[in-house]
Amino acid sequence: MFRRQDGNSPAAKTSRQYDSGNDFPPEMEYDTNVPIPEFDKRPALIHILLLNKTIRLFVVLALASVVIPAFAYLFFFSREIGHGNKRDIIGTCGHPTLYHIPCGYPSNLTQDECHSLGCCYTSLATCYHSLPSEHQYIIGSEWSTGAPAVLTPYRPLTPYERPALREVRFDVTVTEDSGGRFRFLLSKMNTSQEALTDRPTIGLETADLQVQVYSPTFFIEVKRKENQEVIFSTARGPLVVTDEFLEWTLHLGADILFGLGRAYLEPGTKYLLLNTQNSSAVPIVMGYNSKLRLFNGLLFNTPGLTEVEIVGSRLIIVRAQLGDSFELQFLPGPTPSQLYAQSKAILRNQYTPPYWAYGVHVCDQSAKRNLTIVRKSLELLLSDTIMFDSHCLHNDMFWLSDTMTLDKDTESMLRLLRDAGKKFVPSLVLTVAYGGNPTFIDAREKGILLRHPENQLAYQGRVRNRTAVYVDWRTSHSANLSDWLDTQWQRVLNLEADGYVLEEASPRDERNSSLPRPKQLVYQPDQLNDTLADLLPWNTLLSDNSQLELSQHNLIGVRALEVLQGKIDPTNTNSSFIATAAYDLHSQVASFPANISTSWISLRSEVDRCIGLSVVGITFTGTPICGNALPSSGNASEELCIRWYQFGSLLPLFRVTADRTPNMFSRFAQRIMQAALRKRFALLEYLHTLLLEDAPYLRPMFYHYEEAANYTMDLWEQFMLGEALLVTPVLLPQMTQIAIYFPDAFYEFWAGQKMPGNDVLQYAVVESDLPMFLRPGYLVPLRNLVEELVDLDNGTAVSLTAELSRLKPLLLIGAFECNVRRWKCSTKGRVLFEPGFQLDFGVDLDEKIVVSVIANVSSTEEAQRLACTEPATLNATIGSVQLYGHPNTSQPLLLDVGFDFCKQDRLQLEYVNEHRKGPEDPFGDVS
């Protein structure tokens, strides 16, 4: 080491302070006993990096490769300009474009206008919210967990140039049933409301979840206790509330979304929730988190015009007309079946009409009503022995304002129906004809009609080429409405109908041309004008206040349904069938859309819609076969109608217009359509069982095969019919083969051909095919139907109906599910005839084949009345069972069962297993 010598002797060494750069020791020398340090020979790494030109160049290039792309993203892709310069910055503008939430009106904002709203601006002339947004509400630090709170806006002016609501009440409740649900309620303050301190404090958690409400800025988060993963949040966008409008950004933590009446929600798409002829407000969004492999969902209320936007990051933006409150319920899942149960616990909408309602319903809806043509069509249906259960005669014959008197021609047609054992289900038009009729005069005097915005008189529109006025079915003048309807319903009872289809329940005007100018509505969705052209003018007023009809539009048809249901005798089960296009989540009714065009696109859309409705809990629905749009598009393609018949045959409600019944097509098409209807009647007990058990009848593939969710989540063109059947309808013209994904081994339902699992197969189809496959381990009950005609005791034959099909014996079709060594197999199933009357059956395969049937009956007397008395309304016998998937033979097994509930309540049969070869070692001989 270095040593300093300050004298001739080591003892003479003293310390010295050096105050300047010139104060160095006079002499410095090395100690020869100490080695010279290595750094004299090897320069440090930092010197190499700084002094070597090549390395220096690479270091600069490396830094540039990071910095330049970052700036390129900011200036060329995100193009952030940021907040205004003269205000405090609360949130950032540098968040990814996928999380951009539009601020204010969607276009035409300048940079200064955008900054004045407290939002970010880009060089692409778009204005969006910062993150977190400045448009939020403050809850205050004095809020206590679980108690109601008063929220106040952070900014007094909203991005829509309307003042923010000064006070908003927030409530949260927790429900432990069905896995636990959270209910969040934003409502307007009023003097009659109970004091906030009167409510007891509750804990915001369930066994698996907890809610965190942040303050002072109001945000909600729901987390799973197990891993603290956020599965719901309101912190990723704004909360805007005005006196008549709400915008709220919600995040489900999901990668794939479905709901809103659709099997798959496309990111970057807006959905308008507004009851019209061919769509209804279905405000449920569900999602799947691929990281957690869990499902959850949201349910909210939509009394009026509502738009739901799904942005690229799967944020859900709800923009809705605001009445008195906005309710949001969080459904935790975490499985599709639990999500369904949680949804149904809220909806309570199970609908079980009489069994004949599963039949085929026919209605003439030609543009011009001509009773001569109607009668001719009806006589042709009967003479050709076409299978149908009910007829409406004509869908423009019975307006609520009509006298409902039946002339001789009408009475004659009704007699034809009754004599043939058919039902009469008229279409009841709920608009009121304008003029001197008593119905209109009484409604006007009672103040229950929607009003014109200028003269405050009843608004006059055009419906089915008549001048009409519109009843405000949700009016607060409920006593006036009830008195008025009592008089009208007495005339409706003259029809002695078996059920009703409610037409024009949601107000519609054929001559409407009044569309809102920009900013006349707080927010105007892009697709709104096209929709408004079919509804009343946007500024039509409610009957009892100055609010726009548009703010309560979704409730009008729903309230009409509820009021009319109250007029139907609940003890008369044969007249309790009601179908309508205007419904909500709570409606106990058959849902049936109107104005569906005749096209392949419409057929595909109907499949998507029916799956989307079924999976969220709207069960008894149907599709208009071959479309039902007016005016009729003329002759429909035979191939299209065949495919529509095949898909529609699987749905609970089957309705077809009179010009598209099977006898209106070629003999080839008629044969295929009749075969589709016959198979429908054969499967009705299976479908009826699903609905009585309150289970979704159409299920997306991920419902049962979550392990393949990455593939099945957006696979909606094939689905499960209940838990046992996989169906792939043909939805494109001139198809000779279709791709089908089999997550497991399946068996072709009618013949038993085995399909290998975990693969996509190109399946050959012809025009008569509806590809349907049976899942191993399940037995499906069918009525044993071989032809369209039923022989009666008097020697005559009539066409098959739903009620007549129920008198045929049952046939079981099943497929074995075997253990790993494939020598022990089983299959099972059930049929639920009525609540409390069920048959459970199964087949076990081992050394022998054992078939067992057990009747589970809550009331033996009632079950005997249904199945064993004269005349019985159902047949509770099982004739035979057909089995696929025997491990040692590819041939189906057909075994006699011979079970008769009227003679025995249980049965067990044993058969020799002729194909038994003993256990097989799947690993081969290793000796």
pLDDT confidence of residue 123 = 72
Give Cα separations from 244 to 12, 23, 421, 548 (angstroms).
Answer: 96, 84, 53, 10
* Band (569; pLDDT cuts 50, 70, 90): confident
Closest by CA to 573, choosing from 655, 501, 498, 493, is 498
More confident residue, 202 or 447: 447
pLDDT confidence of residue 78 = 43
* Band (715; pLDDT cuts 50, 70, 90): confident
Across the range 118-131, mean pLDDT stands at 86
Across the range 354-369, mean pLDDT stands at 93
b/e per residue, 172-201, with b = 16+ CB within 10 A?
Answer: bebeeebbbbbebbbbbeeeeeeebeeeee
Give Cα separations from 106 to 369, 517, 530 (angstroms).
Answer: 46, 14, 18
pLDDT confidence of residue 40 = 40
Share of the chain above pLDDT 90, in %: 64
Could you give the CA distance from residue 722 to residue 641 in angstroms, rounded to a whole number?
A: 24
pLDDT confidence of residue 29 = 37
Dihedral sign from CA coordinates of 705, 708, 709, 712: negative
- Cis peptide before 438, with omega less than 30 degrees from 0? no
Closest by CA to 422, choosing from 574, 232, 545, 605, is 574
- Please, what is the angle between helix 478-492 and helix 438-445, to 10°? 170
Q: Is the pLDDT of residue 1 over 50?
A: no
Could you give the CA distance from residue 671 to residue 767 in angstroms, rounded to a whole number?
A: 11
Alpha helix (H) ranges present in 763-879? 802-805, 860-867
Closest by CA to 378, choosing from 362, 366, 398, 367, is 362
The answer to whether 488 touches 439, Cβ cutoff 8 Å, is: yes
Q: Is the pLDDT of residue 549 over 80?
A: yes
pLDDT confidence of residue 754 = 96
The answer to whether 224 touches 204, Cβ cutoff 8 Å, is: no
Tokens 């945000």: give the residue: 219
Tell me the CB-side half-sphere exposure of residue 429, using CA atoms within 13 A: 21
Across the range 849-864, mean pLDDT stands at 96
Could you give the CA distance from residue 281 to residue 628 in angstroms, rounded to a whole number?
A: 20
Could you give the CA distance from residue 861 to residue 274 in angstroms, rounded to a whole number?
A: 48
Q: Is the pLDDT of residue 107 over 90?
A: no
* Band (190; pLDDT cuts 50, 70, 90): confident
b/e per residue, 457-474, with b = 16+ CB within 10 A?
Answer: ebbebebbebebbbbbbb
SS3 762: strand
Retrieve residue 739's tokens: 């791709």
pLDDT confidence of residue 47 = 55
Across the range 560-574, mean pLDDT stands at 80
Q: Is the pLDDT of residue 49 over 60?
A: no
Could you give the CA distance from residue 161 to residue 164 in angstroms, rounded to a whole number?
A: 9
Could you give the CA distance from residue 220 to residue 234 in angstroms, rounded to a whole number?
A: 5
Q: Is the pLDDT of residue 161 over 60?
A: yes
* Band (195; pLDDT cuts 50, 70, 90): very low
Q: Give the rounded distance of the alpha carbon of 134 from its chain centre.
A: 33
Q: Is the pLDDT of residue 73 over 60?
A: no
* Band (199; pLDDT cuts 50, 70, 90): very low
Closest by CA to 112, choosing from 81, 76, 75, is 81
pLDDT confidence of residue 79 = 41
pLDDT confidence of residue 140 = 77
pLDDT tens-digit map of 756-800: 998 899 999 999 999 999 999 999 999 999 888 887 777 778 899
More confident residue, 4 or 493: 493
Across the range 159-169, mean pLDDT stands at 94
pLDDT confidence of residue 631 = 66
Could you give the CA distance from residue 93 to residue 395 in angstroms, rounded to a whole number?
A: 57
Give Cα separations from 621 to 303, 359, 426 (angstroms).
Answer: 22, 13, 18
Retrieve residue 388's tokens: 């149908």
Q: Which domains does the chain have, with CATH numbers?
A: 137-347 (2.60.40.1760), 776-918 (2.60.40)
* Band (648; pLDDT cuts 50, 70, 90): very high
In DSSP terms, 828 is beta-bridged to 778, 842
The DSSP secondary structure of 268-295, one letter per residue, reads TEEEEE---SS-----EEEEEETTTTEE
Q: Is the pLDDT of residue 15 over 90?
A: no
**CB atoms inside a 10 Å sphere around CB 695:** 18
The answer to whether 826 touches 845, Cβ cutoff 8 Å, is: yes
∠ Cα 492 497 500 (to 5°): 80
Beta strands per DSSP E along 45-196: 80-82, 120-122, 127-128, 137-138, 149-153, 168-175, 181-188
∠ Cα 832 837 842 (to 5°): 55
More confident residue, 107 or 493: 493
* Band (559; pLDDT cuts 50, 70, 90): very high
- Chain mean pLDDT for the chain: 86
Across the range 266-293, mean pLDDT stands at 91
- Cis peptide before 631, with omega less than 30 degrees from 0? yes
CB-based burial label for 207 (10 Å; 0-12, 13-18, 19+):
exposed
Tell me what percent of the chain is helix, strand and coil, each rounded to the nearest 5: 25, 30, 45
SS3 328: strand
Q: Give the rounded distance of the alpha carbon of 422 from its chain centre.
A: 34
CB-based burial label for 31 (10 Å; 0-12, 13-18, 19+):
exposed
∠ Cα 271 276 278 (to 5°): 85
pLDDT tens-digit map of 805-837: 999 999 999 999 999 888 899 999 999 999 999
Edge-to-edge order in the sheet of strand 230-233? 209-214, 219-224, 230-233
